[in-house]
Chains A and B, each alone.
Chain A
């Protein structure tokens, strides 16, 4: 009997840990770490230190996809740069050092977690309408226009020691 309980406990523990692992992998995927092939285009310059971006996200529900799109927008400004669309956005990413994403993985995992700090730097603009495409039975692709505060984002990354402050060392 004791052996059965131990066996059952081990199986449950294993399942639980696998669940956690899957969750974190899913979260990372949501953060755009594992799949970074989202589409993004510039819509113009916003107020000082802000850029308007149209970005697409995927999700089971349109709301999830829109949520993911915001995450992608911040991710694009930090790691990709916005090279398509109208003029006015930063073509170069904020982080240009190769491998910085992996090097500071702990920081970015927390930063891009659901409800994470990244939300402070992005907001949906306009009347909240979104382009919605049903990709298949289980997935929606949603495009939203968001404003990303890239100047504040840069200050945040400078404070975290991920990118150097302009002229640091002089």
Chain B
């Protein structure tokens, strides 16, 4: 009886410790192309250079067709077991959060600490963007819709899924109906490709970008040599070896290596750590920070994450 109880306890314990992988946040967003063509843009002065940015808020407030299409995609994705974050709600939340942070005060008169980088990071932070583009084609009395849905990994910049095509021309059908048909026609092909991406993720690990940088106040750079594990290597090479040891099948690509910056892309990190807990970029890089904090390096490091897919380790101080 005791053995049986012990067996069930072990089973329950193993189930409770084996977490689920971190779920990516997906959001449908109109493409820059669509926003610019339909006049939903705002100008932004960046150090004297005027930049054109899409104005999602204006687009959602004025374009019922766009709202309907996004809503249809959201509904169909939820039906298929993958609810999405709604763009309009996310935009409202960001505004609301900003207002609340500005108003919130402690009893002693203190306000909520927020650095400029916190303000900058107060964005929707979707991991996968479903970029939507559609054009209503007019050919005499006939109309059709060209529809394009691109699934973009926000950090690697790769297109991981896509579906596009032009619907059957119609004489009488209204635009919303044509758009609805387009969504119905393409969403499952899109999802099939998205599932392929998820399968790849479970087999080969999550693909992330990892950058390591140096504070300009630091006394060392990545070319500083250390005796470590019986070898004399540059700090950058030691970090590179750590990345090799801690990626799925040693998969990564060093795309940039200077004394100040090393950029690794196509880095495949395991979805679970050695204790079976769901892994993310911060958890993954923690061991490297600990390693660099000890002898012979004795370096404090700051971890800076960008969503689920990008992490920076800045060496020298916190």
Contact = CB atoms under 8 A, between A and B. Distances in A.
A170 B24 CA distance: 8
Contacts of B194: 166
A150 B191 CA distance: 13
Given A89-B185, A90-B192, A170 B168 contact: no
A166 B21 contact: no
Interface in B49-88: 76-77, 79-82
Interface in B188-204: 188-189, 191-196, 198-199, 202
Given A92-B189, A151-B188, A170 B21 contact: yes
A45 B181 contact: yes
Interface string A35-69: 00000000011001100000000000000000000
Given A87-B167, A87-B168, A92 B185 contact: no
Contact of B23 (A88, A90, A170): A170
B20 interface: yes
B185 A87 contact: yes
B165 interface: yes
Contact of B193 (A45, A89, A92, A150): A92
Contacts of B195: 163-164, 166
A169 interface: yes
Contact of A92 (B79, B184, B192): B192
A88 B181 contact: yes
Interface residues of A, number: 24
A23 B199 CA distance: 39
B92 interface: no
A52 to B, nearest CB: 11
A125 interface: no
Given A92-B193, A96-B196, A169 B166 contact: no
Contacts of B82: 166-167
A165 interface: yes
Contact of B189 (A91, A151, A168, A169): A91
B283 interface: no
Given A49-B184, A86-B168, A167-B198, 19 more contacts: A48-B184, A87-B167, A87-B185, A88-B184, A89-B185, A90-B188, A92-B189, A92-B192, A96-B196, A151-B79, A151-B80, A151-B188, A154-B80, A154-B188, A166-B191, A166-B194, A166-B198, A170-B23, A170-B24
Interface of A: 44-45, 48-49, 86-92, 94, 96, 150-151, 154, 163-170
Interface of B: 20-24, 76-77, 79-82, 165-168, 181, 184-185, 188-189, 191-196, 198-199, 202, 271
